Amino acid sequence: MKDIVKGYLCAFISAFTYGLIPLFMIPIKKEESFSVDATLFYRFLIASGAIVFFLFYQKERLRISFREMLIMSLLGLLYALSAEFLFLAYDYLSPGIASTIFFSYPIIVALVLILFYKEKLTLPTLLSLLLVVAGMGVLSIKKGEALNYIGLGISLLGALVYALYILIVNKVRIESSGVKISFYSMLFSSLYFLVKSLLLRESITISSWALAGDLTLFAIITTSLSLVTLVYAVRYIGSTPTAIMGAFEPIVAVLISVGLFGEQLTPSLVIGGMVIITGVLIDILFRKHPK
């Protein structure tokens, strides 16, 4: 299988599984005795535990240099903050709208690459970015309602942090494999939320087997699988196409919100989704890739 095909397949899997976040997070947030910080602590702890078994199976050593530890601790912090901002935005916006705004990070990635890395922006890529922006704008329209500006700001802040994560993975020289990067990113993310929970004196006790099962599925599907495939997608096809493929994430999140959590299916949701998919397909079909 060619690297380009592998890259787009990994990018799609990453986008789809990450878009499933509302499916797990909304029910967990209803547990009044269990905080968001505790949820995210277990999410990243379980996910890193799943990854370490894979690393042992591959007989890959966990040792990293001091420089790599600093880089991966930064990646872990960025990933933790992006998750925290997204779930905080759920308190102000519906899951579909918050996820849609958060997943505007492809535009931030592309703009940073153009402004600071002098990456050439081709016409198909420009058209794709414009369509993604237009699609997200349409998705965010709700008749008779205005977006909550606090939620909007929090979602955009999460998008910025997540874009920085993608750029560091792609642009900073790291000798470790993509899977090892994923492991340490999640490990440091879990430490962030553990420390925060302890400082705020929040309980991290899991009260039921059902909650334990939800946390485990949440971690494995939306974190382990999503993050590993993201790393490989960036390695195979680069930051910009990987970020544009991420446009599938809000589509999945919106469908989950409509189908399971009662968010109204409006023409804006349908049209916005179609526009985003069109933008993604244009990038896949017409973007020029280096040999």
Which pLDDT score is estimated for 145? 57
Nearest to 54 by CA among 201, 144, 156, 183: 183
Directed axis angle between helix 248-261 and helix 3-19, to 10°? 30
Residues of the chain with pLDDT under 50: 289-291
First vs last C-alpha separation in the chain: 14
**Could you give the CA distance from residue 198 to residue 148 in angstroms, rounded to a whole number?**
31
The CA angle 29-252-110, to the nearest 5 degrees, is 105
Residues 74-122 have pLDDT tens digits of 999 998 999 999 889 888 877 777 887 787 777 777 778 778 877 777 7
Which pLDDT score is estimated for 147? 60
Give the torsion sign (CA, 281, 219, 231, 76): positive
Nearest to 179 by CA among 64, 21, 86: 64
Nearest to 85 by CA among 28, 2, 163: 163
- Whether 225 contacts 20, CB under 8 Å: no
Which pLDDT score is estimated for 80? 93
Nearest to 14 by CA among 249, 237, 226: 226
